[in-house]
Structure 1
Amino acid sequence: MIRQNQRFLTQIYVLADLSCTLLTFLLAYWLKFNSGLFQHQYSLPFKSYLLWATVFSFASILIGFYVRFYAPRRRKNFSYDTMKIIQVQGLSFLGLLSLLYIAKEVHISREFLAIFLSINVICLTIYRFAVKQTLFRLRRKGFNKRFILIVGAGSVGRSFNESIKMHPELGYEVIGFLDDFQTEHDREYGYMKPILGTVDDLEAVISHRTIDEVIIALPLKAHKKYPRIIDQCERAGVKALIIPDFFDLLPARPFFDNFAGIPLINVRDVPLDELSNQILKRIFDIAFSLAAILITSPILLGIYIGIKLTSPGPVIFRQERVGLDRRTFHMYKFRSMHVFDQSTADTQWTVENDPRRTRFGSFLRRTSLDELPQFFNVLVGHMSVVGPRPERPYFVDQFKEEIPKYMVKHHIRPGITGWAQTNGLRGDTSIHDRIVHDIFYIENWTFLFDLKIIVKTVTKGLLSKNAY
């Protein structure tokens, strides 16, 4: 039977979250009204603040259950927890503001509310991170284990077993396999884990061993055995999970989708397909690009004057690029070359010591300042601050035939900077390596990942020896 520790852990998390929220309330109240750091006028008495803090605490717990914040997260990374904390706290705060408006609590301190929300998010994030790291260490030492039985000792089952061994911090242990072809698999793969019997022995193995989950990794030709295996697992209270036989053909992160009530396997999990993630990224893009344009406006003006004084022609260079969903758009850059036939720019790479560059243009390209007008592309929705770099249609038609999975990059908006660029893959570098990095970014996108790329771009990605 599955050990019933998840309910207990959920209760601990709920109590810890409530305690953390109420303690941060006390800290925020002290900072605002007793520390002397902030000025304050007439406000509500302490008991009123405590009442609303309690309402906020319980609301965050209810919303947490609604958005599955307290669901088992053993397989989730910490960035997922962080986004859930921000989601829960943000929704709870909006609910609190609504209640304050309805109750006409006009004298509550807005500074206090801002301090309380900020400290609460920070404290929850720190304590959840500490808990996760503690659990990782305990699981590496053999505590809090969950035991797995793999039905199917072929290539799919073997790959799953190897993946489990690579992540001991998750706390899973494979106790063995069941397969009808024990001799053949033992000879072919030389398993470290034993083949405990045939598929027909499943019920007996479950009864005599501690097993939490059964992973079904049988070939499609054995699909007639699936109903019986699933039925035996459910009668024993053991979770059953299926790895499709065509798993090896799928990308790293496929997932189940639903269309008109029919389950579908989506062959690639793209986090930015979710509306909430799209909205978050778009809001950040608009805010960041507006801030960047305002901050760099003196630089923009200086570059404008520099181009006008050093070479005849337009200041802005417009070039067709392929973006989201393979739609084309015009990307803006400061002109860094002498005016020449547009078809040449669309079909030729820039090379080292390219004679087409102006002297001022060489400086712009070396420092990446020629990319600044692309923040206007971000504002109108053609691009994002972070994403795969867009390419010209001529080269897209060429690369899609030569580079495997090249067109996957067009599942999301292209970016001014990206994971490939911050790893030195720009200019005259491997297109294949760039696509590997772009696909990794697409499949592993998080808001924190975007921030990491931006920080890396600012700290070490602006100057590049490959930027011709």
Structure 2
Amino acid sequence: MTVPLRAEDRRMTTSVESRRRRPTRRQRRAAARAGAGTDARGVQPSLVEIIPAPVDPAPGPVETLAAELIPVEPVTTVPGVVAGSSARIARWMSVAVMPALEGIAAAGCVLVLCRGLSAALVVGVAVAIGVRLGERGRRRLTLSALDDVPVVGVVATVATVCGYAVARFGAPVTVALTAAAAVFVSMLVTRSLFYAVLRRMRRSPRFRSRTLVVGGGEVAAALSKAILENPEFGLEPVVMIDDRPVSGAASGPVPVGPVQPLREIIDRDNIDVVIVAFSNTADRAVVSALRECDRTRCEIYIVPRFFEYLSMTGNMDRIRAVPLMLVRRDVHRSLQWRVKLAASRLSALTALALLAPLLGLIALAVWIDDRSAPVLFRQTRVGMHGHEFTIFKFRTMRPANEHESQTNWNISADSRVSRLGKILRKSSLDELPQLWNIARGDITLVGPRPERPHFVDHFESTIPGYSHRHRIPAGLTGWAAIHGLRGDTSIQDRALHDNFYIENWSLWLDFKIIIRTVGALITRPGS
């Protein structure tokens, strides 16, 4: 028979239990000796305190409407392929559907207020383009319309000004100001409804992205815990990898495995998102593994060092109080990259046509200088992904046998360079036949300079990051070349500059490199 406790007994029992949980003096001294950062009870504070447990707010009218439209499915195990496809659909919605909806809403407001179809079309298209450019094709982890108010305000203002200037409302400025305010409100309401629907979708496992967490420290454990408690982030932690995880990560709900090649895990487990937290793996090894994932379709987020001190800027998102930096994905699938390749080939063909007389004169001079040797120098070089091709130059040296040509590291003071060859090298005219390589698609105008297979094999085994410079096509000039890193210069510095160029590539960067190359040829011939 159970005897009910009196109030005094209950208070006494509570007091005894609290004393049992309180650490002893010996435990507090041991904790103090263990290191700094413990509190008065001798308990090491956890990073989880930075990410407090969520408090479910009462659903508002927007969430209630979304709940009626999209019922949440019960939590079940969803196959990786199915989940990945559904997660890509959810991402496509935020990239394509949201700009269209906001454009339609803005156009409707202008049409009602200004009675002008042309003005409504201009504003609607401008809003859709502005929202699309603002999203930049990236996934949004934290969905908050209030966070987007500044961007929405700018887009609404610019779109309304475009409509007023191009379509000419034929109305006073006050009407335009009213239209701008209406466009702003319509965009904000549309975005709030869209985010509510998207959050509702993400609560279903079918629409969550399979996530790999690199790291087994407190940051990784706290992130995994926050993701599991907040399905509206749209992530589903599948596995954490770290050779020496902390106890909080090892005992958590997300399985922890040893460090393995990221590419294998991504392909095997159909990973959509990679989050790089702090781990015991060397940074250089992590960077190398991430570069191997360039050709995958997964998104990569990195927890920046000293994130507690950083302010969120640019291409950053957050999970609770931890900022995440979105790493730019493979640009080789972008429209800009296709423009680069097409422009390189077109420029090379145009240059070959315009410079045909000069090429003929140089070829004649080389033939007269040494009639027993070929006019063009041919050599095997290594391009994108290790593909070998034949590069063409005007011959500037006495011929060597094939083995010597492929394995000797030539320098500018080589005695085999002819007098005409010195002139061609100093003016860089010997490089002109490589325009044919560009026209064929072997190389592009701007990129890492190609090297011979013998030296590529040697450098890849001795120079960190050298193999990663082959992620893109080689080039006639490049970031390393305009910084004087050509010829007999540091290979390690070349690799650093080439990889910097790849990570930061843009059409504008290519344009700057071309301008600086032309300037160097004029002011510093032979550089």
Structure 2 length as normaliser, TM-score?
Answer: 0.46
CA 1:385–1:53: 2 relative to 1, 3 Å: farther
Secondary structure, aligned partner of 1:404: coil
Tell me what 1:244 maps to: 277
Tell me what 1:349 maps to: 409
CA 1:395–1:462: 2 relative to 1, 3 Å: farther
CA 1:55–1:354: 2 relative to 1, 3 Å: same
Contact 1:258/1:264 (8 A) holds in 2: no
Tell me what 1:460 maps to: 520
TM-superposition CA deviations, 1:414-436 (whole Å, max 9, x none): 00000000001111111110110
The one-letter code sitting in structure 2 at the alignment partner of 1:58 is G
CA 1:461–1:419: 2 relative to 1, 3 Å: farther
CA 1:344–1:443: 2 relative to 1, 3 Å: same
RMSD: 4.5
1:250 Cα deviation (Å)?
Answer: 2.6
**Which of 59, 64, 72 is the aligned partner of 2:125?**
59
Mean Cα deviation higher: 399-408 or 413-422: 399-408
Contact 1:253/1:269 (8 A) holds in 2: no
Contact 1:409/1:442 (8 A) holds in 2: yes
The one-letter code sitting in structure 2 at the alignment partner of 1:438 is D
1:221 Cα deviation (Å)?
Answer: 6.8
Are 1:229 and 2:226 counterparts? yes
CA 1:445–1:271: 2 relative to 1, 3 Å: farther
Give the whole-Å Cα distance in 2 for the aligned partners of 1:256 and 1:415. 21
CA 1:227–1:390: 2 relative to 1, 3 Å: closer
1:381 Cα deviation (Å)?
Answer: 0.7
Structure 1: segments with no counterpart, 5+ residues: 2-9, 19-49, 75-115, 117-215
Kindly report which structure 2 residues correspond to 1:119-268, keeping only aligned pairs within 5 A, or say none. 219-220=216-217, 225-230=222-227, 243-246=276-279, 248=283, 249-251=285-287, 254=290
Are 1:70 and 2:106 counterparts? no
Kindly report which structure 2 residues correspond to 1:356-375, keeping only aligned pairs within 5 A, or say none. 356-375=416-435
Contact 2:295/2:330 (8 A) holds in 1: no
Give the whole-Å Cα distance in 1 for the aligned partners of 2:368 and 2:338. 42
1:255 Cα deviation (Å)?
Answer: 9.0
Contact 1:388/1:417 (8 A) holds in 2: yes
1:387 Cα deviation (Å)?
Answer: 0.3
Give the whole-Å Cα distance in 2 for the aligned partners of 1:448 and 1:252. 26
The one-letter code sitting in structure 2 at the alignment partner of 1:70 is G
Kindly report which structure 2 residues correspond to 1:21-32, keeping only aligned pairs within 5 A, or say none. none
CA 1:367–1:280: 2 relative to 1, 3 Å: same
**Which of 381, 389, 392 is the aligned partner of 2:449?**
389
Mean Cα deviation higher: 263-272 or 369-378: 263-272
Contact 1:322/1:393 (8 A) holds in 2: yes
CA 1:62–1:226: 2 relative to 1, 3 Å: closer
1:304 Cα deviation (Å)?
Answer: 1.1
Contact 1:422/1:453 (8 A) holds in 2: yes
**Which of 424, 438, 448 is the aligned partner of 2:484?**
424
Contact 2:446/2:474 (8 A) holds in 1: yes
Give the whole-Å Cα distance in 2 for the aligned partners of 1:372 and 1:442. 24
1:339 Cα deviation (Å)?
Answer: 2.5
Aligned length: 284
Tell me what 2:357 maps to: 298
Tell me what 2:87 maps to: none
Secondary structure, aligned partner of 1:333: strand
Contact 1:420/1:434 (8 A) holds in 2: yes
1:298 Cα deviation (Å)?
Answer: 2.6
CA 1:61–1:383: 2 relative to 1, 3 Å: same
Tell me what 1:276 maps to: 335
The one-letter code sitting in structure 1 at the alignment partner of 2:124 is F
Contact 1:323/1:410 (8 A) holds in 2: yes
CA 1:55–1:421: 2 relative to 1, 3 Å: same
Tell me what 2:399 maps to: 339
Contact 2:276/2:301 (8 A) holds in 1: no
1:235 Cα deviation (Å)?
Answer: 9.2
Structure 1 length as normaliser, TM-score?
Answer: 0.51
Tell me what 2:344 maps to: 285
Query: Between Structure 1 and Structure 2, whose CA radius of gyration is higher?
Result: 2
1:220 Cα deviation (Å)?
Answer: 4.1
Give the whole-Å Cα distance in 2 for the aligned partners of 1:292 and 1:279. 20
Secondary structure, aligned partner of 2:497: helix
Secondary structure, aligned partner of 2:359: helix
Secondary structure, aligned partner of 1:455: helix
CA 1:53–1:291: 2 relative to 1, 3 Å: farther
